[in-house]
Structures are given as structure tokens and as C-alpha cells.
């Protein structure tokens, strides 16, 4: 049986790894994240490695910055698309054909909206990177970029 300390450390490492994955998916460096949430880069590193426990407030900041639910930062969902499809299939298998079709139309509509949001997010991140690069080159003296 696992001790409480060992279990807590594994949880911190899982949360830290999920925070790092979310950061990388969002296209941010640790330095950019640190500046955005008002901490040192080393603090972000320690949180991502599980050496430091994040507060609920800090988790909220990460979730806002990465535009994901806080639950995603606990590393819970790790299924592949195929596994997700099988899970949905099992959930609707006993429904009438018309209801299954309705659910599939809803899923299709939601997927379209999410794809569009992802495309906008990608454009936003590219623009944000340009601003951050300009800031690091010293071009920020000409114009003041918005905070994240």
C-alpha cells in the first residue's frame, strides 16, 4: 500500500505534467507564462515538475491562460480519439436510431464550432507571439502590448 506522502507526490507530478502539456499545447514558454501570471520562471518550472504544489488560485490562472477547464490540469483525460469514440458508442448503443442520429448531428455541430474556435485561437497565439517577440527585441517602446 502506498504512503500518503508518496501518493501526494505522484499527484503533484501528474498535475505538473498536465500543466506542462497544456502550456505546450497553448504554444507558450515557461518565461511567457511566468510573466503572464506574475511569478518567476523557476516557479513555473517547479510547478510543472511537481516540486511545488499549485494553489487553487494558481490552477485557475493556468486554466484561464491555457483556455481549458481546471480539471484538465489534473491530467485525468488521457484517452485516444478511438477510445473516446468507443465510449460514446457504448453510451448511445441502446437508444433508438433517430435519437442516435440526433446525438451524432449534435456532436458534428459541436466539433465544427470547436474547430473554428481552435483556428481563431491559433491566429490569436500567432499574433500574441509576434507581440511578445517584438517586446523582447525592444520594439515594445514604440507601442504598448496588452497583458495576457
Residue 120 is inside which H or E element, if any?
helix 97-137
Average pLDDT of 5-12?
87
pLDDT at 1 over 80: no
Torsion of CA 69, 25, 52, 32, to 10 degrees: -110
Domain tally for the chain? 2
> What is the pLDDT, as a whole number, of residue 80?
72
Residue that is written with C-alpha cell 497553448 in the block: 26
CA dihedral 84, 49, 52, 19 (to 10 degrees): -30
Shared domain for 25 and 64, answered yes or no, is yes
- Using an 8 Å Cβ cutoff, are 22 and 76 in contact? no
**pLDDT per residue as tens digits for the range 64-100:** 999 888 888 887 655 677 877 887 888 898 999 999 9
Task: Identify whether residues 5 and 73 lie together within a single domain.
Answer: yes
Domain that holds residue 101: 79-148
Pair 22, 73: CB distance under 8 Å: yes
Q: Which of 60, 78, 96 is the last residue of a domain?
A: 78
pTM: 0.53
Q: Of 16, 43, 78, which marks where a domain is finished?
A: 78
Amino acid at each position: 500500500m502506498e504512503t500518503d506522502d508518496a501518493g501526494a507526490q505522484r499527484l503533484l507530478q501528474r498535475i505538473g505534467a498536465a500543466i506542462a502539456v497544456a502550456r505546450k499545447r497553448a504554444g507558450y514558454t515557461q518565461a511567457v507564462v511566468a510573466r503572464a501570471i506574475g511569478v518567476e520562471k523557476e516557479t513555473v518550472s517547479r510547478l510543472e515538475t511537481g516540486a511545488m504544489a499549485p494553489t487553487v488560485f494558481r490552477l485557475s490562472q493556468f486554466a484561464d491562460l491555457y483556455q481549458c477547464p481546471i480539471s484538465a490540469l489534473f491530467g485525468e483525460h488521457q484517452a485516444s480519439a478511438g477510445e473516446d469514440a468507443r465510449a460514446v458508442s457504448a453510451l448511445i448503443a441502446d437508444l433508438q436510431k433517430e435519437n442516435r442520429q440526433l446525438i451524432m448531428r449534435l456532436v458534428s455541430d459541436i466539433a465544427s464550432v470547436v474547430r473554428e474556435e481552435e483556428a481563431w485561437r491559433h491566429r490569436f497565439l500567432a499574433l500574441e507571439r509576434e507581440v511578445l517577440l517584438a517586446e523582447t527585441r525592444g520594439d515594445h517602446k514604440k507601442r504598448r502590448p496588452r497583458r495576457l
